[in-house]
Amino acid sequence: SSQNLSEEFAEAARQLKKEAPRIQFGKIDVTHQHDLRKEFNIQAFPTVKFFVNGSREDPIDCKGVRKASTFITWVKRRTGPSTVLINSTDQAEAIIKADDLAVIGFFRELHNDSVEVFCETARDVPEMPFGMTASEDICANYGIQTNSLVVFKKGKPVHNEVLEDGRQNKLGLTRLIKTFTLDLVTEYNIETSVKIFDVPVENHILLFTPTNSETFNEIYENYQSAAAEFRGKILFVLVDTDEARNGRIFEYFRIRDIDVPAVRILNLTSDAKYKMPADEVTVENLKEFCQSYLNGKAKQHLSSEKIPQDWDKMPVKVLVGKNFNSIIF
């Protein structure tokens, strides 16, 4: 909520006043400042923008940051180095073990495009510590031979992304790394819904199933296997159909009891929904569905009632989702 973020924002301002007095904080109520709202194209609330070197042009958007500590990290990484340079294995271990998650860049040398992309990515992921090294000994200690970005979770490496020479897709890396703040499959509930929408992955796949059914364990294992393959591209969500508080999400997808287990993909940007063509929730079917969606080959699912037999008998035609497009357009 705006109120909550406002308090965290004020807390960050208090702390940074001591550490970085050159950074000024201000807040604007755009309900009274229509010209400013228009100039900076403010559409959602709250919106935080960072203005650099006294310029009104092209301020940097600060998205998805909700805590004072994360906000301070975000600002510091914009105004100073975004990663820690690691010179010893002990220092690397300290960073890896200090938090639940850590990201380390292992490089052959520190002046190339891969390093630049790594540092830019660090600016956009203030939720976790970033370190980088070009020490042969440290790379050898972790068994790394090529330029790599490694995500550590609870002190253990959980993902190794080889950084090719040349410009990587920074947005792709940012999305991939941010997915590690969630489980491989995230169960949908009041607490996790906010986190799910904070991760900038616009493709969500949802498995609707009762978690106490006899087939649940097998289905869930298949779902997790597929999730590992599409990490960073599609976010895997589990919706327990026995949980009454999930009612609104069933309505939104028009899921009925007889439909479960059901699998749907939702594109957050276009709001388009897709239904898995196969009924069986197997690894093969899930992978095929995800891949055809990413390749742009999946058919959009327009949930609709059946077309009534006498829809065109009367002067006023009866339209449902299935015949709406063909009749109207």
What secondary structure does DSSP assign to 162-181, as a single string?
E--SS---HHHHHHHHHGGG
Please state whether beta strands 273-275 and 185-187 pair in parallel, antiparallel, or not at all (unpaired).
unpaired
Residues in the chain: 329
The pTM score is 0.80
* Average pLDDT estimate for 25-30: 87
**CA 84 to the chain's CA centroid:** 24
Tokens of 195: 């986190």
Are 146 and 162 spatial neighbours (Cβ–Cβ below 8 Å)? yes
Are 9 and 69 in the same domain? yes
Q: What is the pLDDT of residues 75-84, one digit of tens each?
A: 999 999 999 9
| Predicted pLDDT at 234 | 97
Say if strands 273-275 and 156-162 run parallel, antiparallel, or are unpaired. Answer: unpaired
What pLDDT does 322 receive? 59
If asked whether residues 100 and 73 sit together in one domain, one would say no
What's the pLDDT score for residue 230? 96
Single out the residue in 145, 179, 213 at which a domain terminates. 179
Same domain assignment for residues 260 and 290: yes
Tell me the average pLDDT across 124-131: 94
Q: Is the pLDDT of residue 94 over 90?
A: yes
CATH number, domain of 233, equals: 3.40.30.10
Q: Which residues does residue 204 pair with via DSSP β-bridges, in sequence order?
A: 235, 266
Residues 217 and 286 in one domain: yes
Is pLDDT at 43 greater than 90 in this prediction?
Answer: no
> With 70 as the cut, is the pLDDT of residue 225 above it?
yes
Would you state the pLDDT for residue 318? 67
pLDDT above 90 (res 88): yes
For residues 146-162, give the mean pLDDT.
95
Is there a single domain that holds both residue 146 and residue 240?
no
Mean of pLDDT values over 60-69: 86
pLDDT of residue 190: 84
* pLDDT for the residue 327: 63
Shared domain for 143 and 122, answered yes or no, is yes
Among 79, 96, 121, identify where a domain stops: 79
Q: Domains in the chain: how many in total? A: 4
Q: Looking at the structure, do residues 70 and 1 belong to the same domain, yes or no?
A: yes
The pLDDT of residue 186 is 96
Report the share of the chain in percent with pLDDT over 90: 58
191 and 168 in a common domain: no
pLDDT at 321 over 70: no
Residues 261 and 227 in one domain: yes
Q: Which of 17-21, 91-95, 106-110, 303-307 has the lowest mean pLDDT?
A: 303-307
Q: 175 and 145 in one domain?
A: yes
What are the counts of helices (DSSP H) followed by strands (DSSP E) for the chain? Answer: 12, 12
Which of 15, 44, 79 is at the close of a domain? 79
What is the pLDDT at residue 77? 94
* Domain encompassing residue 140: 84-179
Q: Look at residue 64 and tell me whether its pLDDT is greater than 90.
A: no
Q: Contact 126/74 with Cβ under 8 angstroms?
A: yes
Same domain, 229 and 134: no
Q: Are residues 174 and 155 located together in one domain of the fold?
A: yes
Higher pLDDT residue, 197 or 132?
Answer: 132
pLDDT digits (tens, 9 = 90+) for 233-245: 999 999 999 998 9
Burial state string for 158-188 with b = 16 or more CB within 10 A and e = fewer than 16: ebebebeeeebebeebbbbbbbbebeebbeb
Higher pLDDT, 274 or 250: 274
